[in-house]
């Protein structure tokens, strides 16, 4: 398949009338799939009402079919078509964080949306992205758009158009390149379908931010207890992994240095994931700074790019520093733990 690559300048007004946006929207109406920039990561969009379009998303990504997709909308009124009811907690969260990186789980109306998009569940995950290009496409096509991250399943999510091209060239109808995404990690997923809302996946909106709006929320047990089954089907899969095995290092810099020295002595090409503060202080073959430890949002924003850069640098093993498990650090650690297949080396 010939993949169209459209560059879009985000800063221009009236994006809805732009030829690239209109063409992408026409593709979506014809049940083709198109990669779209959002404020979190690039999404691979398709008509959520069409089994054909949703099938193409799963196929292009190689995504397991039991992993449901997030439905993207541009207007809260679109919800009524496929959601049974809007609980008070969800209404408050929508008011506070939409458009933005918060995905809310609702009860789904029977017979609406492709069953493939929701993986046969009775619930549906929805968000309104805060990105001018994504919103313009959604408004222009007037469809609910299913959009998982626009990467090959299992690889780090894409935060630039070039990352999407690397993974999906020839497999999708088009890629809208609106520059680098901002937040850099996916949306927070929160289940508002029963009782106290539960965060199923930490992401761009922190637990503290959510609690400031609706009071008590819980974290899904599976996020801390690896033995319990996650309520969010996708959370059980290995994700975000660079090519070389990644190990999280829970200990001092001296400990990390000793691990690097040991593997170098074995003749391996060793990578270290650190931050700008420490980037000059390691003796590994490839030392990459992922933002500033003093500002965790910069770490989130650079995370996937940094994981992909280790692939480009061709290392045999990667050791990563760990980050505080609070605020956006929860999302960073969740992604890093998955990328590492939960391998943690403790001093």
| Residue 189 binding target from ligand AMP, Mg ion, none, CB below 5 to 8 Å by type | ligand AMP
124 binds ligand AMP (CB under 6 A): yes
186 binds ligand AMP (CB under 6 A): yes
Q: Which of 50, 78, 130, 149 binds ligand AMP (CB under 6 A)?
A: 149
Q: Which of 149, 181, 206, 275 binds Mg ion (CB under 5 A)?
A: 149
| Residue 274 binding target from ligand AMP, Mg ion, none, CB below 5 to 8 Å by type | none
SS3 for 86-98 is CCHHHHHHHHHHC
Nearby residues of 186 by Cβ (< 8 Å), 6 or more positions away: 40, 41, 101, 149, 157, 201, 203, 204, 331
Torsion 182-183-184-186 (CA) sign: negative
Q: Which of 24, 200, 244, 299 binds ligand AMP (CB under 6 A)?
A: 200
| Residue 125 binding target from Mg ion, ligand AMP, none, CB below 5 to 8 Å by type | ligand AMP
Q: Which helix (H) or strand (E) holds 106?
A: strand 102-107
Q: Which is nearer to ligand AMP, 181 or 232 (CB)?
A: 232
Q: Supply the minimum distance, in Å, between the C-beta of residue 157 and ligand AMP.
A: 7
Rounded Cα distance between 336 and 347, Å, is: 18
Q: Say if CB 129 and CB 150 are below 8 A apart.
A: no
Picking from 246, 223, 250, the residue whose alpha carbon sits closest to that of residue 330 is: 223
Q: Which of 37, 68, 99, 184 binds ligand AMP (CB under 6 A)?
A: 68
| Residue 268 binding target from Mg ion, ligand AMP, none, CB below 5 to 8 Å by type | none
Rounded Cα distance between 249 and 284, Å, is: 14
Please give the residue ranges that form the binding site for ligand AMP (CB under 6 A).
67-70, 105, 118, 121, 123-125, 148-149, 186, 189, 200-201, 231-235
């Amino acid at each position: 398949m010939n993949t169209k690559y459209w560059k879009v300048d985000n800063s221009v007004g009236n994006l809805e009338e732009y030829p690239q946006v209109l063409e992408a929207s026409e593709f979506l109406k014809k049940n083709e799939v198109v990669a779209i920039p959002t404020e979190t990561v690039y999404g691979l969009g398709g008509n959520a009402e069409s089994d054909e379009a949703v099938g193409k998303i799963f196929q292009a990504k190689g995504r397991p079919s039991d992993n449901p997709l997030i439905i993207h909308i541009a207007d809260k009124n679109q919800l009524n078509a496929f959601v049974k009811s809007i609980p008070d907690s969800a209404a408050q969260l929508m008011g506070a964080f939409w458009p933005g990186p918060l995905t809310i789980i609702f009860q789904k109306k029977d017979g609406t949306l492709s069953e493939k998009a929701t993986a046969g569940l009775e619930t549906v995950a929805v968000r309104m992205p805060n990105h001018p290009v994504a919103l313009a496409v959604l408004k222009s096509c007037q469809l609910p758009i299913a959009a998982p991250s626009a990467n090959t399943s299992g690889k780090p999510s894409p935060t630039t158009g070039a990352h999407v091209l690397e993974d999906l060239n020839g497999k999708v109808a088009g890629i809208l390149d609106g520059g680098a995404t901002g937040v850099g990690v996916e949306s927070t997923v929160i289940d508002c379908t029963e009782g106290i809302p539960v965060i199923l996946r930490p992401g761009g909106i922190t637990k503290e931010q959510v609690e400031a709006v609706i009071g008590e929320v819980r974290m899904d047990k599976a996020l801390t207890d690896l033995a319990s089954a996650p309520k969010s089907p996708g959370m059980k899969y290995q994700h975000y992994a660079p090519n070389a095995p990644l190990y999280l290092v829970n200990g001092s810099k001296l400990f990390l240095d000793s691990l690097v020295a040991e593997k170098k002595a074995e003749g391996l090409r060793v990578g270290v994931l650190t931050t700008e503060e420490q980037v000059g202080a390691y003796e590994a073959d490839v030392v990459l700074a992922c933002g500033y430890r003093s500002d965790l949002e910069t770490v989130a924003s650079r995370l996937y790019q940094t994981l992909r850069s280790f692939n480009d640098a061709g290392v045999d093993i990667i050791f990563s520093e760990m980050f505080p498990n609070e605020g956006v650090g929860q999302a960073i650690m969740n992604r890093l733990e998955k990328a590492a297949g939960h391998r943690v080396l403790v001093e």
